[in-house]
Chains A and B, each alone.
Chain A
Amino acid sequence: MTAYLKLDHIDKIFTRGAATTEVLKDINLTIEKGQYVSIIGHSGCGKSTLLNIIAGLTGASTGGVLLENREVNSPGPDRAVVFQNHSLLPWLTVYENVKLGVDKVFAKTKSRAARDAWVMHNLNLVQMAHARDKRPSEISGGMKQRVGIARALAMEPKVLLLDEPFGALDALTRAHLQDSVMALHQKLGNTILMITHDVDEAVLLSDRIVMMTNGPSARIGEVLEVPLARPRKRLELATNATYLKCRQRVLEFLYERHRFVEAA
C-alpha cells in the first residue's frame, strides 16, 4: 500500500501546571491517495485533537505527520479543514470567504480573472453560486457548511480534513450534504479524512473506518474496511448485507467493547 498521508507514532500529552493528561497514544495510520477515511469514537476520545494535529493547528508531543513523505507540522492549504461550525467570516460575503483562500494559494499561479472563475467554479460544485453576494448570517446552516466545503476545496488540498462537518445539521440536511460530499469525492477523487460520531455516516461515506478507544490515552482500536462499491446509494444500502455487517461491527466496537464511560 502506498502511503499518501502517514501518521507516525503520534502521542499527545496536555500539560496544565503539574497535571499531565495523555490524550492520544501511539497513533499509527496510513492513508492512500483518493481514499475516504473516517475516524469514529466517543466524544472526548481525542478525535478532534488528532485532526488538529494533522491540520498542524496543534503539535504532536511525539511522532509526526507525513504527507507525501514530507513531514508537515504547521497549518497549510494542502490540508484544508472544513470546521464543525463552518467558521465562515461573518463580515465577508460567501464569495469573499472562498476567495480569501484562493487569493492566497493561487496568488502567483493564477491571474485575477482565473481566480475569480475558480471561486465561482467551486461555489458551483457545492451549488452555492446563487448566494455569492450573501453574508453568512443570511444563509441556512446547511448552506454555510456547503460554503465551508467550497472554501476548503478551492485551496486544492492534498488531503481534505472534515471535522464533524454535519454534526450541527438536522437529519435531512445532513443526508443531503452527505450525498453532495460523496458526489464530490467521486468526481474529484480527493483524499478525505473525516471525524464523525455517526455510525451510519461513517459506513455510508468511508472506504475505511478507524475506530478509536476511549480516552485518556486513546488508541486506534480497530480499522474496518468497507468493501462497498461506489457510487453508493443511501436507499439501496439500507438492506445491503455488507453495509449492515459493517454497521454491526462498528456498533459492537463502540457499544460493547468500548462503552462510553462518563468521565466526570
Chain B
Amino acid sequence: MNMPATKIELETATSAASAAPVVAMTPKRPPRSEAYVRMARELAVRVIPPLVVVALLTLVWELVCRRAGSALPPPSKVFKDTKELILDPFFDHGGIDKGLFWHLSASLQRVAFGYSLSAIAGIALGVLVGQSVWAMRGLDPLFQVLRTIPPLAWLPLSLAAFRDGQPSAIFVIFITSIWPIIINTAVGIRNIPQDYRNVAAVVQLNPLEFFAKIMIPAAAPYIFTGLRIGIGLSWLAIIAAEMLIGGVGIGFFIWDAWNSSHISEIILALFYVGIVGFVLDRLIAGLGKFVTRGTALN
C-alpha cells in the first residue's frame, strides 16, 4: 500500500526537476545609498515635528514676554542671563555655589541611593505579597493606605527620625518609589501561569531555583513596569524634598534662584530637570526591554 505512493512521489520529483532546471539567482539587494536615504527619512519623520513645535512655542513665548514689565523673561533673556551657567557647568566656588553639573549629580546620587534601596526592598516585598496569600491579606491594605501619602508629608517625620537632611531625602525617595514596585511585582508574581509552576514542580526546582529561574523572569515585565513608575516618582520627590532640606542639589538650586529672583536660572534648571527625568525613564525602559526580551507570551 505504501509502495505506489512513494513511486508516484519519485516520478513527480524527477519530472519537476527536469522541467525546471535550478538557476543560481543572486538575491536582489537595494544599493547602499538607498538605505541611507531611507534611514535619514525615518529620522526626519521623528525629529522634525517636535523641533517645529518647540520652535513655534519658543517664538510665542518670546513674543508674549518681550513687552516691558512682563513678569517672566523671554527666551532670549533667559539665554543671556544663564549663558555662564550653560557654558560652564563644572565650576565650584565652594559651599552651594557650584555649577549645574554638581547640583544635578548630587540629586542623582540621592535618587540612585534611595531608588536602589526601594527597588531591592520593593521586589522582595512584592514577591512576598504575590506569593503568600496571608502576606497579601495582612500587608496589602496597609500598602494601599500608605501609598496615597504624598512624598513631602514624609519629610518632617524623617527629619525628626534621622536628624539630618541627606538620609531624610533618601528616605523620601525610598518611600515614594517603593509602592508601585511592590504592587506591580506582586501582580506579576500572582500572574505566573500555573503551567510554569507545574514545570518547576515536575523538574523539582527548589525554592531558590524557582525564584531565580521561573519567578523573576516570568514576572519581569511587571517588575519593570513598577520600576519605571518608581524612577519617575523618585525624581519628582527629590526636587521637592531638596527645596526643603537645602544643600547642594538641583531642587535647592531652584529654590535659591527664586529667593534671589533669578527667574532665568529657574527656567534653565527646569529644562535640565525635565531632560534628566526623561533620560532616567528611558534608561529603565531600555533596561527592561533588554532584560525581558523573549519573555512576552507566545
Residues of A bordering B, CB below 8 Å? 55-57, 74-77, 79-81, 83, 85, 87, 89-91, 100-101, 104-105, 135-137, 155, 233, 235-236
Task: Establish whether residues B204 and A77, one from each chain, have CB atoms under 8 Å apart when the complex forms.
Answer: yes
Contacts of B5 in A (CB 8 A): 235
Q: Which of B127-135, B167-175, B265-273, B290-298 contacts A (4 or more CB under 8 A)?
A: B290-298
Nearest chain B CB to A167 CB, angstrom units: 14
Task: Establish whether residues A87 and B217, one from each chain, have CB atoms under 8 Å apart when the complex forms.
Answer: no
Which 4 A-B pairs rank lowest in CB-CB distance, beginning with the nearest? Answer: A137-B298, A87-B195, A75-B201, A91-B217
Closest residue on chain A to residue B195 by CB atoms: A87
Q: Name the one of A75, A81, A137 contacting B204, with C-beta atoms under 8 angstroms.
A: A75
Docked complex: B188-215 residues within 8 A CB-CB of A = 193, 195-196, 198-199, 201-205, 209, 213-214
Nearest chain A CB to B203 CB, angstrom units: 5
**B1 in the interface, Cβ–Cβ < 8 Å?**
yes
Nearest chain B CB to A184 CB, angstrom units: 19
Task: Establish whether residues A90 and B202, one from each chain, have CB atoms under 8 Å apart when the complex forms.
Answer: no
Contacts of A90 in B (CB 8 A): 294-298
Contacts of B205 in A (CB 8 A): 104
Known contacts A79-B202, A80-B202, A83-B198; 13 additional CB pairs below 8 A are: A56-B201, A75-B204, A76-B204, A77-B202, A83-B199, A85-B195, A87-B195, A87-B196, A89-B196, A89-B199, A90-B297, A155-B202, A155-B203
Task: Establish whether residues A236 and B1, one from each chain, have CB atoms under 8 Å apart when the complex forms.
Answer: yes
Task: Establish whether residues A55 and B2, one from each chain, have CB atoms under 8 Å apart when the complex forms.
Answer: no
Please, how many residues of chain B have a CB less than 8 angstroms from a CB on the other chain? 25
Nearest chain B CB to A209 CB, angstrom units: 25
Task: Establish whether residues B294 and A135, one from each chain, have CB atoms under 8 Å apart when the complex forms.
Answer: yes
A6 to B74, CA, bound (A): 87
A55 to B295, CA, bound (A): 27
Q: Name the one of B2, B198, B294 contacting A87, with C-beta atoms under 8 angstroms.
A: B198
Task: Establish whether residues A137 and B294, one from each chain, have CB atoms under 8 Å apart when the complex forms.
Answer: yes
Contacts of B296 in A (CB 8 A): 90, 137
With known contacts A135-B294, A235-B1, A81–B203 Cβ distance under 8 A: no
With known contacts A91-B217, A235-B2, A76–B294 Cβ distance under 8 A: no
With known contacts A87-B196, A235-B2, A55–B298 Cβ distance under 8 A: no
Interface residues as binary, B256-298 with A (CB distance below 8 Å gives 1, 0 otherwise): 0000000000000000000000000000000000001011111
Task: Establish whether residues B294 and A91, one from each chain, have CB atoms under 8 Å apart when the complex forms.
Answer: yes
